Structure 1
């Protein structure tokens, strides 16, 4: 018996992305629970999870795609106070600094509505889901960085040997078929998996003093794929 559901979901750049495992470089994170406890930590796009995709813990803001190259202007140089000894060090030109410190889990960002297929029979049935819309997912950050988003992504790549992008597009036309057990409902959303990173950012003045260090949490596009769960 074949049960087919056809509704909107988002498609990867190529069908290859759907079929490959999400296993990337191994990383450690004290926030990462065992793989079986959360779908966003699963290593396979076709894995059937037990709950919908997790939402990020932090409140974040999406970065417009036309601003990922924008270098922050930075604050004004501090004025010397009466009696200050002229600085002997020179850090010119003044510039922003971003240092990645931790890599976290993958989080799925849907670019279309949820698709559901219920198997009301007493036998396992095949559920097929097809993406019918296209959408983009970009970088999201908890606070502004003192460097451009592209510079931040480059630093992340250098630190963790992982490629994250300023944006990825989930495209029209991708399909996936999975088994739905008797009297169960299979749910599916299509979109982009993003990697969580934590880093610190500050502005280095020409006289080598710095602004207060701030923590930046970011979610950066990693790969396109499906997220599946049963209910």
Structure 2
């Protein structure tokens, strides 16, 4: 079901007005672009994401198990503080978690029209992951922020009432989805035991809340 825009003004083509602040920190050490600004057209409609294998990431750190087959009978056996580890390895860009239905506005006139979209649904988007993750959500966020130089969160609440304006060309339809942009990343997770050995490494994909914003495209 599509909800039409809240209000439209017939205006000459003008520079897009952006309402609300958006983080624009670049990803340090990568060639990926900074977050899209609210009101910036995307290349096309977002793909249907299959997140059936993702689960909320626990906030509490699981206690590392004791070392299996650790050194014995040695007066000065090597020791490491046991801990669970997560290391990001591959930034896969932004993914949008939409809240509510897609809104749209068709401009049937011969002049550029200003479309105004307003969020009517809010909600909380949490960090999720797929694969065997041994570290906590706070560890994941800290490691990602350190590697990419961005501000991420364990959870972000997108509030109702957020709005955005954008020009819709003649005979075009503008679409808008409100929600939370997330950073998708693949990394490895493992445990360091007290004897300084490590468990087998597992591949983990994370979707970490980044900032509140709109996904907008036209056709």
**Superposition TM-score tier, normalisation by shorter sequence:** 0.7 to 0.9
Q: Pick the aligned partner of 1:73 from 63, 78, 98.
A: 63
Cα separation, partners in 2 of 1:149 and 1:113, compared to 1, 3 Å: same
Q: More deviation in 125-134 or 72-81?
A: 72-81
TM-score (norm 1): 0.77
Cα separation, partners in 2 of 1:28 and 1:95, compared to 1, 3 Å: closer
Which residue number in structure 1 is paired with residue 25 of structure 2? 24
Q: Distance in 1 between matches of 2:191 and 2:199?
A: 5
Which residue number in structure 2 is paired with residue 44 of structure 1? 37
Unaligned stretches of 5+ residues in structure 2: 8-17
Cα separation, partners in 2 of 1:73 and 1:158, compared to 1, 3 Å: same
> How far off its partner does 1:88 sit?
2.5
Which residue number in structure 2 is paired with residue 14 of structure 1? none
> How far off its partner does 1:95 sit?
1.6
Question: Contact 1:139 / 1:167 at 8 angstroms: preserved in 2?
Answer: yes
Calculate the aligned-residue CA RMSD, in Å.
Answer: 2.8
Q: Pick the aligned partner of 2:77 from 88, 105, 109.
A: 88
Q: Pick the aligned partner of 2:166 from 178, 182, 191.
A: 178
> How far off its partner does 1:144 sit?
3.1
> How far off its partner does 1:205 sit?
1.2
1:172-203: CA deviation from partner (whole Å, max 9, x where unpaired): 11111211111111100000011122222111
Q: How many residue pairs are counted as aligned between the two chains?
A: 205
Question: Contact 2:84 / 2:191 at 8 angstroms: preserved in 1?
Answer: yes
Q: Distance in 1 between matches of 2:99 and 2:19?
A: 15
Q: Distance in 2 between matches of 1:109 and 1:18?
A: 20
Q: Distance in 2 between matches of 1:151 and 1:49?
A: 31
Q: More deviation in 121-130 or 217-226?
A: 121-130
Tell me which protein shows more helix as a share of its residues. 1
Q: Distance in 2 between matches of 1:22 and 1:116?
A: 25
Structure 1: 4+ residue segments shifted above 6 A: none
Structure 1 segment 46-195 matched on structure 2, within 5 A:
46-54=39-47, 60-63=53-56, 67-68=58-59, 70-79=60-69, 86=74, 88-91=77-80, 93-195=81-183
1:14-46: CA deviation from partner (whole Å, max 9, x where unpaired): xxx94445531244558x6xx7xxxxx763221
